[in-house]
A and B are shown apart, each in its own frame.
Chain A
Amino acid sequence: MEQLLQHLLNGLVLGGTYALLGIGLTLIFGLMNLVNFAHGEFYTLGAYAAFAALALAGVNFFVAVLAAIAAGAALGALCERVLLRPLRAESIDTTMLVMIGVWIAMQNGELLVWGGVAKSIPHPFPTAPLVLGPVSIAPLRVFVFVLAAGLIAASYLLIHRTKLGRAMRATFQDRDTAALMGVRIGRIHTATFAFGSGLAAAAGALLGPVFLAYPSMGDLAALKAFCVVILGGLGNLPGATLGGLLLGVAEELGAGYVSSGYRDAVGFVIIILVLLLRPSGLFARQERIG
């Protein structure tokens, strides 16, 4: 029983991090229909940006996270403007190919700049675990979970309660009408991609201290993000959140009670089952974005 409780707690906390990874991608994938293979690299960028801010510039932890988000959003905007906008008329696989190239270039660029040795990102939280009865958890993870929840809530508010968010939703529901109504399509695309990338960078900045920062850290993260997006339904923010939690718990229980070697298979099997049985996602509601 004790074991089960610990597994569940592990799963929820892990799931929170997956949710954070997923919400950025669900916007890009869901709203822009872009299979963004470089999403993991923005995650990595966020971690290295936080490392640079904390270990090299010595700033406050929260400032470092903000700096990481800014870096991710800026690079995302640049990417969209320079690489994706000219190719917008092309098919989905051409843009995919460009993002693959960006992925390879970014990852090897990071390898060149930071070297292959993993970097430990300092954080201000105590390392002694919080003990809650039979289970224990690190304070840093609790913080990450809380902050992730905050970021998710803020994103939701942005999409649903601001003018920008409305413009985004309009653009991706019906581009031509939105353009007729005065929405600047190009700017919306850039803003969406920047937003999604900024969120990925935030995930990296928050998870970097929990794990470690190294150039290939984004690969597995990107795959999990895709899984979360499918689970929750494209463009569905609350869906991605719940999907992330579900994936985390499922993986924990799978690894704990079935086999640790097949742990990652859980995510894949979930994708397959969901897509075959309920393609719009487990949590699709009536009014989906896009």
Chain B
Amino acid sequence: MLKRWVPVVLVVLLAGALLTPAAFAQAPVKIGVIQPLSGPVAASGNYVRMGAEIARDWINARGGIGGRKVELVIEDNKSDPKEAASAAEKLIARDRVPAIMGAWGSSMTLAAMPKLEEYGVPMVVETSSAASITKRGNPWIFRISPPSEMEALGLERYVDKLGVKRADFLAVNTDWGRGAVGAFGDMLKKKGASVGAAEFMDQAATDMNAQITKIKATGGDTLFLTTAVEQITLVMKQAQEQRLGRKIITTGGSSSPTQLIKQAGAAAEGSYHLLFFMPWFPEAMPDGKLAKAFVDEWAKRGHPFEGLTEGFRGHDGIATIAEAIKVAGKDEPKAIRDALWKVRLMGVNGPIKFDKDGPAGKESGQSKPSIFVVQIKDGKVALPDFLAKK
């Protein structure tokens, strides 16, 4: 008796399985990612990658884009512009990605840019700070990170409250460091402060005592520091050894104050930091819930807390591209490019919307990210006095 029902049940089950729309039956949406995953800045590149992976998993958990799963195709640019160009070539020509996020360092991004124009594929720039990236007339570039000038403007309103009258600069000898020195120097001079010494250090240098001794002799009251977190640690320690005794402000947003507290200890006390994400008080971010969720997910995956100040860029970059694909309705490069002009979304950093930047007719997109200042007080990260409210 039962035996007769078995094939019927099987057919019904099979039919049900076939007819139920499988969630991700179609080809995945591919998004290219180019980051420095090896070489001197491997740590930063990997944080961005981790943030990107969180964005991808969240999007897929919500059903993907138009029912299709998002897949990240990740390439290493080995902290070398030539590799960045090769990686872009491979992603576009071999993997056929319709959009890319990258490439972290400004010279890596600049090296990849001709490929974008050659093939007509848009790229969302998540970290690079060189002004030239959006001013070169490349209509395939959309940047969500602030160029140095924008960053300097973000600090402008606090200059008096911080009491900066005579500033010196110590920056890493790359496009980022030099750009920061120029941009912040101009901004300070406009506010009536004076600029003393501008010293540089090689990206791999570990001993900055000579530069610190020189800066000590200028008699300034503030030192602006622009470099990666490891060098900031070393500068702070060496500044303490030489009893530099002045206010330190770090720029660029890549230095994690948490890591500085851990590694520089008392030498980091009292320093200020310009950031684009405050993982210690996610509720204070423009979208507090999203920020908090990001911080929690990051911790759940066992990623180091220090990486959050850079990891969020990966999330925001992927979220932006995904939103553009949604708006465009298809994962085709030109459609995505046109859609990027129309996107309005909330990233971890804040609202993302692209304005025109660069020569007329060939504008690139530049968003206006939120900029924050924190201070290390009593071995913990806090809002500076002039900002602490509520």
Do chains A and B make direct contact within the complex (CB under 8 angstroms)? yes
Query: Which residue of A141, A220, A256 contacts B213 across the interface (Cβ within 8 Å)?
Result: A256
Q: Which residue of B lies closest to A121 (CB)?
A: B263
If A6-B242, A127-B240, A212-B234 touch, whether A260 touches B214 (CB-CB below 8 Å) is yes
**Nearest Cβ in chain B — how far from A245, in angstroms?**
14
Enumerate chain B residues within 8 angstroms of A181, measured Cβ to Cβ.
Answer: none
**B200/A260 in contact, CB under 8 A:** yes
**A251/B210 in contact, CB under 8 A:** yes
**B204/A220 in contact, CB under 8 A:** yes
Enumerate chain A residues within 8 angstroms of B202, measured Cβ to Cβ.
Answer: 220, 261, 263-264
Enumerate chain A residues within 8 angstroms of B209, measured Cβ to Cβ.
Answer: 6-7, 10, 14, 252
Residue A289 at the chain B interface, CB threshold 8 Å: no
If A3-B217, A120-B263, A214-B230 touch, whether A255 touches B241 (CB-CB below 8 Å) is no
Q: Which residue of A lies closest to B214 (CB)?
A: A256
The docked-state distance in angstroms from the alpha carbon of A7 to that of B212 is: 10
**B242/A136 in contact, CB under 8 A:** yes
**B306/A117 in contact, CB under 8 A:** yes
The docked-state distance in angstroms from the alpha carbon of A181 to that of B307 is: 61
Enumerate chain B residues within 8 angstroms of A217, measured Cβ to Cβ.
Answer: 206
**B262/A10 in contact, CB under 8 A:** no
Residue B199 at the chain A interface, CB threshold 8 Å: yes
**What's the dominant secondary structure at chain B's contact region?**
helix
**A256/B210 in contact, CB under 8 A:** yes
**A14/B233 in contact, CB under 8 A:** no
**Nearest Cβ in chain A — how far from B273, in angstroms?**
18
Query: Which residue of A141, A219, A260 contacts B210 across the interface (Cβ within 8 Å)?
Result: A260
Residue B60 at the chain A interface, CB threshold 8 Å: no
Residue B73 at the chain A interface, CB threshold 8 Å: no
**Nearest Cβ in chain B — how far from A256, in angstroms?**
4
Within 8 A of B (CB), among A69-113: 108, 111
Summed over the interface, the residue pairs from A and B with CB atoms below 8 Å come to a total of: 103
Per-residue CB contact flags for chain B residues 134-165 toward chain A (1 = under 8 Å, else 0) read 00000000000000000000000000000000
**A129/B230 in contact, CB under 8 A:** no
Enumerate chain A residues within 8 angstroms of B38, measured Cβ to Cβ.
Answer: 108, 111, 116
Residue A137 at the chain B interface, CB threshold 8 Å: yes
Q: Which residue of B lies closest to A18 (CB)?
A: B207
Within 8 A of B (CB), among A171-228: 211-212, 214-217, 219-220
Residue A59 at the chain B interface, CB threshold 8 Å: no
Enumerate chain A residues within 8 angstroms of B42, measured Cβ to Cβ.
Answer: 111, 116, 215
Residue A138 at the chain B interface, CB threshold 8 Å: yes
**A14/B207 in contact, CB under 8 A:** yes
Enumerate chain A residues within 8 angstroms of B307, measured Cβ to Cβ.
Answer: 117
**Nearest Cβ in chain B — how far from A224, in angstroms?**
10
**A131/B243 in contact, CB under 8 A:** yes
Residue A118 at the chain B interface, CB threshold 8 Å: yes
Enumerate chain A residues within 8 angstroms of B210, measured Cβ to Cβ.
Answer: 7, 10, 251-256, 260, 263
Residue A150 at the chain B interface, CB threshold 8 Å: no
Interface centre among B202, B209, B242, B243 (most CB of A within 10 A): B209
Residue A115 at the chain B interface, CB threshold 8 Å: yes
**Nearest Cβ in chain A — how far from B221, in angstroms?**
18
Enumerate chain B residues within 8 angstroms of A7, measured Cβ to Cβ.
Answer: 209-210, 213
Within 8 A of A (CB), among B120-140: none
Within 8 A of A (CB), among B237-271: 237, 240-243, 259, 262-263, 265-267
If A108-B38, A120-B262, A127-B265 touch, whether A261 touches B173 (CB-CB below 8 Å) is yes
Within 8 A of B (CB), among A147-164: none
Enumerate chain A residues within 8 angstroms of B206, measured Cβ to Cβ.
Answer: 211-212, 217, 220
The docked-state distance in angstroms from the alpha carbon of A38 to that of B319 is: 42
Enumerate chain A residues within 8 angstroms of B11, measured Cβ to Cβ.
Answer: none
Enumerate chain B residues within 8 angstroms of A118, measured Cβ to Cβ.
Answer: 43, 229-230, 233, 263
**A136/B243 in contact, CB under 8 A:** yes
Residue B205 at the chain A interface, CB threshold 8 Å: yes
The docked-state distance in angstroms from the alpha carbon of A141 to that of B265 is: 17
Enumerate chain B residues within 8 angstroms of A260, measured Cβ to Cβ.
Answer: 199-201, 210-211, 214
Binding site for B on A (CB under 8 A): 3, 6-7, 10, 14, 108, 111, 115-118, 120, 127, 129, 131, 136-138, 141, 211-212, 214-217, 219-220, 251-256, 260-261, 263-264
Q: What are 28 A-B residue pairs whose CB atoms fall within 8 Å in the complex?
A: A3-B214, A10-B209, A10-B210, A115-B43, A116-B38, A116-B41, A117-B43, A117-B304, A120-B233, A120-B263, A127-B237, A127-B265, A127-B266, A138-B237, A138-B241, A141-B241, A212-B230, A212-B233, A214-B40, A216-B40, A253-B210, A254-B210, A255-B210, A260-B201, A260-B211, A261-B200, A263-B202, A264-B202
Q: When A and B form their complex, which 5 residue pairs have the shortest distance between CB atoms, in order from nearest?
A: A116-B42, A255-B210, A116-B43, A120-B263, A10-B209
